[in-house]
Each structure stands twice: as structure tokens, then as C-alpha cells.
Amino acid sequence: MVKRDYYEILGVTRRATYAEITRAYKKLARKYHPELNPGDEKARRKFEEIAEAYDVLSDPKKRALYDRYGLRRDEMSEEGEKRTAADIIFEGFDFSAEESFSDFLEELFASSAGKRVKAPQRGEDLEVPVALSFEHALRGTTVTVTVTRRQTCPRCEGRGEVEGPQGTCFRCGGTGRRPTLRGPLRLSVRCEHCEGTGRSAPICPLCHGETRLPIEESLEVKIPAGVDTGSRIRVEGKGDAGLYGGPPGDLYVVTNVQAHPFFVRKGDNIYCAIPITITEAVLGAKIEVPTLWGKATLRIPPGTQSGQIFRVREQGAPSLRGDVRGDQYVEVRVVIPRLIDQRSRELMREFERLNPENPRAELMQVAGLLADAPSEAEASH
């Protein structure tokens, strides 16, 4: 029996675009799908003919060969290997979702007659939190973390089965198919483990077919100087083992840095507040201030006001971006002494007489008031 032309099967011209070919295929596939025509052998053959035509015409390389030489799919090389449409069965499809239909066609009709090789899959990455003191985060340290990860089963070497006589496939329960959900599609596809036969080698008694086993492992992890809350330290290859020979994932240690009672970190800079006396603020002084790395000398210029901020260079946190440090910013706060004797009071009054300054004068002018204007209200104590 001579097979019909692929373009004729789909009802399109030889100049049809990919979108036109796809629309024609979807329309015919819905009409003749075996699931919608149970027991209709003619519809089944028609559906397979439609699927074969679409398989060739939707692939630019196959279509070029067909247009040039008239080769049918089963006459092409291994790149155009024949695919069996009966490998896929729809178990419920929302036909209003047209955009979802074509997205899965290649996957659904990609089952070949031979045994397919499972592609290696990289293992999953894992995360483990670790709490650090402020000092350890800034100076660096080594911590021990315990992680539970999946390792390749040593008994079956990640196959999920062992040598022995074949029995019921433990993946599909002997049905040869497995259910899967893809968006609006609920599909039953051929079991990739037994290749649709429903038979497989004995299940691995150690991992029970899971191919990997959970193990608990303690690891020493070096924490670099300068980490902050949310920093992620990568430990290569210590995540879950990969599947089918794939590489393992990585482990990420996520830091949570405790607050410090004196220092505050903002980026790579450190902030703190230091008390100074009235004499130091008025006359100026050199004082020692604590830093993360010891002590530093800070020069207080004469006439320093409370709340002024001074910078101490390179006394901040180490940067993770290079061998540099941030700065430390010191806010000075003038402490008012308690006068406990008459002589101290007299000295303060003498100081006031010699330095008749009104710090609120500009404030009054800004407010549009006279500094000596009488007040109608007195502050209560």
C-alpha cells in the first residue's frame, strides 16, 4: 500500500509554516486520538499516520530531507528514528488549553523502540544554617556542621535493582505505564524503567529502588573573615548524589551573625558611640577607643560637639571582595558631670560669665522670634 504524502495527510501546502503545520496537527490529533475513539482501528491508524507526518514536517532537518528526496520517516537515519504514537495515552485533557498541547508533543512521542539511556542528573544542592558570634564572623573561624544528604546506594550502585531473575517492575507495579501531570495534562506514559514491559530485575534490598540512601555526615567548614548574616559558604560536592552517573550537588552553609553589645555593622563599616568629658570636648584631647582589632588613638579637636562622628580608617570589617577592610565610625557623646560641691558650681558660673554664649540664638532667629521676647508660658518641672 502506497503511503500518502505528508503534506496531504495534514492538509497543508508545501509552503506551510511551522505554525500552520502545528495547528493542522493539533486539530487532526484531537479528532482521531485513540483515547477519544476507543476500539476504532481506523482512527488509530489515522492518528499514527498524522503523528508520523507531523514528526517529519515539524523538524526542519527531516522536512528538508523529505522535500528533497521524498524519504519517509522509517527510511531516514537514526536522527529521524521512528517513534511510536501508541506509547502515549491521554487520561484526561482540557482541550480548551491549546497552548499546552503542542508544548509536550515532542516529549510524548519521543519513545523509541529500543531501550533509552537515562540522562545523568545533577544532585540537589543543600543548605545548613550556622550561628556565629560577632567576633567569629569578623575574624573568621572553623565550624563543624552535621548534614543529612543522599548518597549513591553502594549495593546497586544507583540502579535501584540488583542481578537476578526478572519479576514485576517495582516502578510501575507491572502495568508498564506510570502516571504523570504536566500542567493541564494528566498523562499515562510508558514506564522508563522497564520500557513498558512491566518486568524488571529484583528491587535493591538496601535502598528499595530509591537508588540513593540518606546518610548523616559531620563536616568541618572554614568560615572566611568578614561574613555577615545571609552569607553562603559553598562546600563543593557535599550535596545530594546525582542520578544515573550525574555529579553531586553542593552544600551551602548559611551564616546567622549575632548582634554585638557595643559595635554595629553596616556593610564593611563598624559604628560605635564613645563618651567624652566636657573638658575633652572643649579643650580637645587624644583618647583611646576600642576596635575589633585592639585599641586606636582618636584625636578630639577643641570645641567638639556631642554627636560628632569621627572616622578611624581600616578598622572595620574585612571585605569578602578582597584583602581590604572597612572603616570604623566613632560618635562622641559629651557627658555632663554632676556638680557635688559649691566650688564646682562657682567655677561653672565663672566659665559662663567669661563665655557669654547663647546656643539658641540662631534658633530664635530662624523661628522669627526675638531672643529677649517675654514668654507667656513657663516650663513645668
Q: What is the mean pLDDT of residues 254-270?
A: 95
For residue 236, the model assigns a pLDDT of: 95
For residue 143, the model assigns a pLDDT of: 96
Q: What is the mean pLDDT of residues 134-157?
A: 93
Together in a domain, 247 and 136: yes
Alpha carbons within 13 angstroms on the beta-carbon side of residue 301 total 5
CA distance linking residue 13 with residue 373, whole number of Å? 98
Q: What is the mean pLDDT of residues 62-78?
A: 70
Partners of 254 in the beta sheet?
129, 232
Q: Does the pLDDT value for residue 65 go beyond 90?
A: no
Domain containing residue 297: 264-335
User: Is residue 181 situated within a structural domain?
Assistant: no
Tell me the pLDDT band of 96, cut-offs 50, 70 and 90: very low
Q: Does the pLDDT value for residue 91 go beyond 50?
A: no
Together in a domain, 317 and 250: no
Nearest in space to 12 (alpha carbons), one of 42, 43, 50: 50
User: Is residue 137 situated within a structural domain?
Assistant: yes
Q: Does the pLDDT value for residue 222 go beyond 90?
A: yes
CATH code assigned at 291: 2.60.260.20
User: Beta-carbon neighbour count of residue 370 at 10 Å?
Assistant: 9
Together in a domain, 100 and 140: no
Q: Does the pLDDT value for residue 161 go beyond 60?
A: yes
User: Beta-carbon neighbour count of residue 278 at 10 Å?
Assistant: 14
Together in a domain, 11 and 102: yes
Q: What's the chain's length in residues?
A: 381
- How many domains is the chain partitioned into structurally? 3
User: Is residue 204 situated within a structural domain?
Assistant: no
CA distance linking residue 96 with residue 103, whole number of Å? 14
For residue 110, the model assigns a pLDDT of: 41
Together in a domain, 102 and 12: yes
pTM exceeds 0.85: no
Q: Does the pLDDT value for residue 107 go beyond 50?
A: no
User: Is residue 349 situated within a structural domain?
Assistant: no
Together in a domain, 281 and 244: no
User: Is residue 40 situated within a structural domain?
Assistant: yes
Where among 259, 293, 317 does a domain terminate?
A: 259
- The region of weakest confidence among 60-74, 92-106, 311-325 is 92-106
- The region of weakest confidence among 96-100, 169-173, 247-251, 252-256 is 96-100
In terms of DSSP bridges, do strands 167-168 and 232-235 run parallel, antiparallel, or are they unpaired?
unpaired
Q: Does the pLDDT value for residue 100 go beyond 80?
A: no
CATH code assigned at 91: 1.10.287.110
Partners of 188 in the beta sheet?
89, 179
Beta carbons within 8 Å of 50's beta carbon, 6+ residues apart: 9, 10, 25, 28, 29, 32
Q: What is the mean pLDDT of residues 319-333?
A: 92
Together in a domain, 74 and 140: no
Distance separating the N- and C-terminal Cα atoms of the chain:
112
Tell me the pLDDT band of 168, cut-offs 50, 70 and 90: confident
Q: What is the mean pLDDT of residues 35-45?
A: 83
Where among 84, 108, 132 does a domain terminate?
A: 108
